[in-house]
Amino acid sequence: MPIHIKTIFLIVFTGCFFPAINGAAQNNKDTINIGFLFQNKERSSAKNGAELAILEATKKGGAFEYKKLKLITYSVEGLWGTGSKQSVKLVFNDNVLVIVGSLDGRNAHLAEQVTAKTKVAFVSAHATDMTLSAAFVPWYFRCVPNDLQQAQVICNEIFVKRKLKNVALFGTESYDSKQAMATFLKVAQSFAGTKTKQFVFTGSGETVNKTVTGFNDSFFDAVVLFGTPEFAKNILPFVKKQNVEQPVFATQSLLDNQKPETQNWQNLNNVIIVSSCLGGSKKASGFQQKFQEKFGYRPGPVATYAFDATSLILETIKKSGADRNKIIDAIQKGNFNGVTGKFGFDKNGNRTDEPKLLMIKNGIPTALNDE
DSSP for 159-198 reads IIIS---EEEEEEESSHHHHHHHHHHHHHHTTSTT-EEEE
- Range from 163-172, 242-251, 252-261, 270-279 carrying the lowest mean pLDDT: 252-261
pLDDT for the residue 20: 52
Helix (H) or strand (E) holding 74: strand 68-75
pLDDT, average across residues 211-219:
67
Beta bridge partners of 367: 358
- Going by C-alpha positions, the residue among 312, 1, 313, 4 that lies closest to residue 131 is 4
Q: Could you state, in order of their start, the residue ranges of all structural domains in the chain?
A: 3-144+281-343, 147-275
Q: Of the segments 101-115, 245-259, 287-301, which one has the largest average pLDDT value?
A: 101-115
CATH of 147-275, one of 3.40.50.2300, 3.40.449.10, 3.20.20.370, 3.40.50.170: 3.40.50.2300
Mean pLDDT of 40-65: 83
Q: What is the mean pLDDT of residues 197-202?
A: 86
Q: How far is the C-alpha of 334 from the C-alpha of 318, rounded, in Å?
A: 13
- The proportion of the chain whose per-residue pLDDT surpasses 90, expressed as a percent, equals 56
In DSSP terms, 71 is beta-bridged to 34
Of the candidates 278, 308, 30, which has an alpha carbon nearest to the alpha carbon of residue 143? Answer: 308
Local confidence band at 156 (pLDDT 50, 70, 90 cut-offs): very high
**Alpha-carbon distance 224 to 227, whole Å?**
10
pLDDT digits (tens, 9 = 90+) for 59-69: 866 667 556 88
Which residue in 31, 181, 162 sits closest to 95, CA to CA? 31
Residue 231: band (very low, low, confident or very high) from pLDDT cuts 50, 70, 90: confident
∠ CA 346-352-358, rounded to 5°: 155
Model confidence at 266: pLDDT above 70: yes
Mean pLDDT of the region 248-261: 79
Q: Distance between CA 205 and CA 201 in Å, rounded?
A: 9
3-state secondary structure of 244: coil
pLDDT category, 262, cuts 50, 70, 90?
low
Query: How many angstroms separate the Cα of 198 from the Cα of each of 168, 217, 306?
Result: 6, 14, 32
List the one residue out of 227, 222, 226, 197 whose CA is nearest residue 212.
197
What pLDDT sits at residue 43?
Answer: 79
Q: What's residue 203's pLDDT?
A: 65
φ/ψ of 233, rounded to 5, equals: -60, -35
pLDDT at residue 371 in the model: 43
For residues 151-165, give the mean pLDDT: 96
Q: What pLDDT is stored for residue 299 in this prediction?
A: 87
φ, ψ for residue 4, nearest 5 deg: -70, -35
Same fold, 3-144+281-343 and 147-275: yes
φ/ψ (deg, to 5) at 24? 75, 150
Opening angle at CA 134, ends 354 and 4, nearest 5: 135
For residue 13, pLDDT beyond 50: no
Q: pLDDT tens digits, residue range 82-92?
A: 999 999 999 99
Answer whether residue 16 shows pLDDT above 50: no
Calculate helix-pair angle for 301-320, 45-58, nearest 10 degrees. 40
**Superfamily for 3-144+281-343?**
Response regulator (3.40.50.2300)
| pLDDT in the model for residue 15 | 44
State yes or no: pLDDT of 163 exceeds 60: yes
Q: In what order do the strands lie in the sheet with 248-250?
A: 195-201, 166-172, 222-226, 248-250, 271-275, 356-361, 364-367
Summarize pLDDT for 124-154 with one digit per residue, the tens: 999 999 999 998 899 999 999 999 999 999 9
* Top-confidence residue, 118 or 367: 118
Report whether 18 contacts 83 (CB < 8 A): no
Q: pLDDT value at position 229? A: 85
Cβ neighbours of residue 106 under 8 Å, at least 6 residues apart?
A: 3, 80, 83, 175
Identify the band that residue 283 occupies on the pLDDT scale cut at 50, 70 and 90.
confident
Length of the chain: 371
Which one is predicted more confidently, 19 or 110?
A: 110
Q: 128, 101 in Cβ contact below 8 A?
A: no
Question: What pLDDT is recorded for position 360?
Answer: 87
